[in-house]
Amino acid sequence: MEHLRFELQSAPAVKGKPLKGDVLCGIVSSGNLEILVEPLMSDHAAHTCSIDIQTAAEGFGETWQAVLSQFAERHAAGGLSFTLNDVGATPAVVALRMAQAYEEWCAVNEGAA
Amino acid sequence: MSGRRSFLESSARERIHSLVDPHTFTEFCAPSERQVSPHLAQLGLSQALDDGIVTGSASLTGKRVLIAAQEGRFNGGSVGEVHGAKLVGLLRAAITLQPEGVILMIDSGGVRLHEANAGIVSISEIARAVLDVRAAGIPILVLLGGSCGAFGGMGIVVRLCHTVVMSEEGRLSLSGPEVIETVMGRQEFDSKDRALVWRVTGGKLRRALGEADQLIEDDHAAFREASVEWLKLKTDTPNPPLDFEALCARQNDLLMRSETFATARDGRDILAQRLTLNEDQWTLADAHTFEQGLRKTDPVQHPQGQNAWKEGLQPLNPEDLEFANRLFGEGNHQIQSSGYFLVGSAQTLRGPVHVIGTRDRAPIGVEVALKLAGAVLDAVSTDHERAESWPIVLISETQGQLLSRHDELLGLNGVLAHVALCVDLARRSGQRLLTVVRNEAVSGGFLSFGMLGDRICALPDAQVRVMDLRAMSRVTKIPLERLEALAKHSPVFAPGAENYVRLGGVHEQWTAEQDWKEALALALDASVSSDERAVLGAQRGGRHLAASIAERVEQQATALV
């Protein structure tokens, strides 16, 4: 198992509103991963997207960096924390799951707002 | 069919959300609380934030239900310490909250081998909690339609519940076909033959046999509709209690089943008799057509009926006699045996007791199980008639369940659940249950009998286990050396009564020097009818989380009101 952590710049997820609620997406099974999306507690974190990864596939730090940087650029995920439990998902699956988790979080957060 | 969504293909969370009223689900011990399995991490394996089970409360057509769903795609929905404790907590909360019903979406291969000992004790705690919920008059519905089905201990737990609704894709059994094939050979059960696997364990066969109450389509809407109907029915007509008469009727049905299908090895043999449809028809039939094709049958009385268990009883052999002399004292017991089964009565320092159990490292199949159940029912009725309550000493000696396609076909999981229900009836009738583990006690055979004791005592040389380390290494693909090293520090992996003592799964182990008559008397004094094993496991340092996680779920549930 390898533990990776990224703090990436990203546009604020929700402007001017306190973030609430969390969402779990995906399943911990071979070639797949689960992602928990939660609001970061700190006010200073509005422009930071924090990503914590436990992965069964060791030595892919650069690939993670590339996939997640692209995610943080394309989505307004500032102020959100992502916790990933990965069992060797391909970069494509990771990208898809991240986008899905983000969308689900937005949907839940809209409903709550 | 338009708009149909497969239950089989869905995740545990999706299943819950499409079952209950929108936006009514509140999760207990949610993923953000990060109550993960410490044992998986120790083995360097991935953990899930919910440990593979979702537990919570929701409304179904406005009525409150407590609900749990296992995630079959995470480690086969297997039950580890945290996973099991969440379910135990939910069931205990049901007794406090008195919801309209409890719905369990079981999707599990049984014990999580990576934490085998904690897993089996946990399933035993789930079984006890299910029995308590039943006794409190709260109905439990099982929905089965996931890819893992319900196997191992969870196959037994399913049949402790009131109602089982399954899709054709669902499976319900005890030993998995792969296990039977590995141990007994391919001619016994070819696990690659999917059609055969489903004819032995699948939804249609289980429905025809009476092990499931309704067959439905693999569709979320069908699962919701069946649950709504069930809840309506349960609210209108409360469950009849599982009393002596009900269990005697069940005993009779199971004896008849075993006799009627004495040579059956394929679901075809059963389906042909139970259906008005021919094979081409039932193979292709949708759930509705299948239900229509079920033959209505009247119950038939078994010729020996409630006395079938007495057949062939003989005096004990010298080895068993020596054991009985040591346990009760020479001349203080009248115990007989037939094959793997033993039964009788004895005098202890605390008065008379019933003695019921198995011997000779019994592989427990349908036949032995029905003898155990018959003897327990007889003990209950004898005591009832003379208005006395003798404790029952459960002699537990088993190498595990019988690995046989025939026994699986007949629903060995259901038969073992029936044994458990009979033992539980004895407890609720006021009989204390004292388990003595002799030689070895393994998996399913132990789970449905000895593990239900109020107090569980192991003899000095007794082995207790789910599976030996070599087999565990094969299944989990973790090198044996690594498992052996871990076993030195953690009681959750390694076989051995002493490990179960640390986990709280065995209350005490006796020594060779001890006077067992005295030990038995003290154990009778110490026995309590409530399940304190998780607390014991925490006190003894072998199982740190089971008690606290169950309590956490229970607290969150009761805080809702």
User: For the segment B92-132, what is each residue's pLDDT rounded down to a tens digit?
Assistant: 999 999 999 999 999 999 999 989 999 999 999 999 999 99
Tell me the CA end-to-end span of chain A in Å, nearest whole number: 38
What value does the mean pLDDT take over residues B473-494?
82
Domain count of the fold of chain B: 2
pLDDT band at B485; cut points 50, 70, 90: confident
Query: Do B420 and B409 share a structural domain?
Result: yes
Would residue B521 count as lying in a domain? yes
Whether the CB-CB separation of B95 and B136 falls below 8 Å is answered with yes
The reported pLDDT for the residue numbered B237 is: 73
How far CA B484 is from CA of B41, B433, B503, in Å, comes to: 16, 34, 18
pLDDT of residue B235: 77
Both B435 and B558 in a single domain?
Answer: no
Nearest residue on chain B to A34, judged by CA atoms?
B48
- B411: tokens are 């629903």
Q: Tell me if B5 is assigned to some domain.
A: no
Give a yes or no: residue B528 inside a domain. yes
Structure tokens that stand for B333 in this block: 């017991």
pLDDT tens digit sequence for A20-75: 789 999 999 999 999 999 998 777 788 999 999 999 999 999 999 999 999 999 99
Q: Over 70: is that where the pLDDT of B1 sits? A: no
Residue B413 lies in a domain: yes
In terms of domains, do B554 and B527 share one? no
- Residue B425's pLDDT is 97
The verdict on a CB contact (< 8 Å) between B48 and A85 is yes
CB of A100 within 8 Å of any CB in chain B?
no
Residue B100 domain boundaries: 14-166+214-239+546-561
Q: Is the pLDDT of residue A113 over 50?
A: no
- What integer pLDDT is reported at residue B487 of this predicted model? 80
Could you tell me which residue, B57 or A107, shows the higher pLDDT?
B57
pLDDT, averaged across chain B = 95
Query: Is residue B535 scored above 50 in pLDDT?
Result: yes
Residue B99, domain CATH:
3.90.226.10
pLDDT given at position B265: 96
pLDDT digits 0-9 by tens, B334-392: 999 999 999 999 999 999 999 999 999 999 999 999 999 999 999 999 999 999 999 99
Alpha carbons B117 and B121: distance in angstroms, whole number: 6
Shared domain for B553 and B534, answered yes or no, is: no
* Residues B531-551, mean pLDDT to the nearest whole number: 96
Residue B206 in domain: no
Q: So what's the pLDDT on residue B495?
A: 85
Lowest-pLDDT range of A11-15, B109-113, B557-561? A11-15
Q: ipTM score here?
A: 0.94
Instruction: Let me know whether B355 and B218 are in one domain.
Output: no
pLDDT confidence tier of residue B430, bands split at 50, 70 and 90? very high
* Domains identified in chain A and CATH numbers: 2-112 (3.30.230)
Summarize pLDDT for B26-49 with one digit per residue, the tens. 999 999 999 999 999 888 899 999
pTM for this one?
0.97
| A35: closest chain B residue by CA | B49
What pLDDT is stored for residue A76 in this prediction? 94
Average pLDDT in chain A: 91
Taking alpha carbons only, the member of B108, B120, B179, B160 closest to residue B402 is B179
**Beta-carbon separation of B32 and A36 below 8 A:** yes
B424 in the same domain as B555 = no
Which residue from B490, B553, B497, B538 is spatially nearest to B38, judged by alpha carbons?
B490
Q: Is there a single domain that holds both residue B498 and residue B555?
A: no
pLDDT of residue A18: 63
Nearest-CB residue to A85 (from B32, B44, B46): B46
The answer to whether B273 and B297 are in contact (CB under 8 A) is no
Decide if B46 and A28 are in contact by the 8 Å CB cutoff: yes
B198 part of a folded domain: no
Whether residues B351 and B485 share a domain: the answer is yes
Which chain A residues are closer than 8 Å to B44 by Cβ?
1
For residue B183, is pLDDT > 90?
no
* Cβ atoms of residues B55 and B92 within 8 Å: no
Residues B555 and B485 in one domain: no
- For residue B49, the chain A residues in CB contact (below 8 A) are 24, 34, 36, 83, 85
pLDDT at A112: 43
**Is residue B185, in this structure, part of any structural domain at all?**
no
Q: Does the CB of A83 have a partner CB in chain B at under 8 Å?
A: yes
Reply yes or no on whether the pLDDT at B156 is more than 60.
yes
* C-alpha closest to that of A109 among A12, A17, A7, A10: A17
If residue B160 lies in a helix (H) or strand (E), which one and from where to where?
Answer: none
Hey, is B395 helix, strand or coil? strand
Let me know if residue B263 belongs to a domain.
no
B157 and B52, same structural domain?
yes
Q: Do B228 and B310 belong to one domain? A: no
pLDDT in tens, B139-149: 999 999 999 99
* Same domain, residue pair B39 and B162: yes
